[in-house]
Copies of this chain bind each other. A is one copy, B any other.
Amino acid sequence: MLNYQQQPLDLMFQALADPTRRGLISRLSRGPASVSELAEPFDMSLPAVVQHLQVLETSGLVTSEKVGRVRTCRLEPKALMTAEDWISSQRASWEARLDRLGEYLMELQAGEKKRGRKK
């Protein structure tokens, strides 16, 4: 498990780790928005919000396009799925393992009862 890094996942989870950025994603999940629309609810400077947007864009979770002087940002659902899939697969294999353990314990228990295989 040498650090031959899964950089996309690093960037995505890092991006998701900040509440401001999750707020931006929540907003964007309701539809595209301009930079100043996105910044408005937050109690921080505009450059700070733009920096958060850059993190989101570098991670691939958000894309943007500038028309005239307005930059419009939107969510990239496929990227979100990458993060979701990783988590899901880890959880699935752990839960599968728990299930197998459960079965094993049940077998043990059944075995202890020796003749308890009726009904």
Contact = CB atoms under 8 A, between A and B. Distances in A.
Interface in A77-113: 77, 80-81, 83-84, 86-88, 90-91, 93-95, 97-98
A25 interface: yes
**For the complex formed by this chain, how many copies does it contain in all?**
2
Interface string A39-52: 00111100000000
A80 B84 contact: no
Interface residues of A, number: 44
Contacts of A16: 9, 13, 17, 87
Interface in A28-58: 28-31, 41-44
Interface of A: 1-3, 5-7, 9-10, 13-14, 16-20, 22-23, 25-31, 41-44, 75, 77, 80-81, 83-84, 86-88, 90-91, 93-95, 97-98
